């Protein structure tokens, strides 16, 4: 019996383990009141998701880190203006998206970024596993922006498709179709690259 229970309690190795992101809207009120504990809680809950989202748009670690930092500063500066609408993550993603898009526009205007630099940006030298690096590079290079957003958020934050749809303001059907299409493209690309299990 004990053996049976121990077997039953074993986690499914095929499933991801995600930190469940449960944010109460009242947390912004606390942040507005300069409650640093609330701000830290929000940061630790959402930091990776916001980074992944910024990375999916900018495809650059440094820019994504800049956007991440600016996003939390904006949250801190505008928390008192937040109106509860039932979608706190949507507001955070909206800020991150607007900042990332501003950065993209700025990048296109300056044209300082060369193609080689872009390639260097996709080097992700901090990733030790070559296969993981290759998959991330492939995802950022062959998928379009919406497919990247959806797949990265699904992979990093563990959001369900419905939550992604709510957070990004997209129809659920669009999220589902883009997720499947993106994964299909990625698998095909990886197969061509000879990346196998």
What is the binding site for another protein (CB under 8 A)? 14-16, 36, 39-40, 43-44, 47-48, 51-52, 55, 61, 64-65, 68-69, 72-74, 76-78, 80-83, 85, 90-91, 94-95, 98-99, 102, 124, 126-129, 131-133, 135-136, 139, 151-152, 154-156, 169, 171, 183, 186-187, 190-191, 195-197
Which residue number, 24 or 47, has a Cβ lying nearer to another protein? 47
State how far the Cα of 66 lies from the Cα of 110, in Å rounded to an integer: 17
Q: How far is the CB of 26 from another protein (least distance, A)?
A: 16
Which residue number, 4 or 158, has a Cβ lying nearer to another protein? 158
DSSP state of 35: -
Q: How far is the CB of 7 from another protein (least distance, A)?
A: 21
Q: Which residue is it, tokens 């609408």?
A: 85
Q: How far is the CB of 85 from another protein (least distance, A)?
A: 6
State how far the Cα of 105 lies from the Cα of 111, in Å rounded to an integer: 10
Which residue number, 57 or 152, has a Cβ lying nearer to another protein? 152
Inter-axis angle of helices 172-193 and 161-168, nearest 10: 110
Spell out the alpha helix ranges (H) of the chain: 2-9, 26-32, 36-58, 61-78, 88-110, 115-121, 130-142, 145-156, 161-168, 172-193
Q: How far is the CB of 193 from another protein (least distance, A)?
A: 10
Q: How far is the CB of 1 from another protein (least distance, A)?
A: 31
State how far the Cα of 57 lies from the Cα of 181, in Å rounded to an integer: 18
């Amino acid at each position: 019996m004990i053996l049976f229970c121990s077997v039953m309690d074993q986690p499914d190795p095929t499933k991801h383990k995600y930190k469940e992101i449960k944010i109460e809207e009242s947390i912004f009120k606390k942040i507005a009141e300069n409650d640093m504990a609330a701000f830290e809680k929000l940061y630790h809950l959402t930091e990776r998701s916001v980074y992944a989202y910024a990375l999916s748009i900018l495809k650059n670690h440094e820019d994504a880190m800049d956007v991440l930092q600016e996003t939390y500063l904006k949250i801190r500066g505008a928390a008192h203006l937040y109106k509860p609408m039932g979608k706190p993550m949507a507001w955070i993603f909206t800020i991150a998206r607007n900042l990332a898009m501003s950065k993209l526009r700025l990048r296109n205007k300056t044209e300082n970024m060369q193609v080689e630099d872009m390639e260097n940006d996709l080097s992700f030298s901090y990733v030790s596993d070559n296969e993981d690096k290759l998959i991330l590079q492939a995802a950022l290079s062959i998928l379009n922006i919406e497919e990247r957003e959806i797949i990265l958020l699904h992979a990093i934050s563990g959001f369900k498709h419905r939550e992604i749809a709510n957070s990004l303001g997209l129809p659920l059907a669009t999220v589902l179709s883009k997720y499947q299409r993106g994964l299909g493209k990625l698998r095909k690309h990886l197969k061509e690259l000879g990346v196998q299990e």
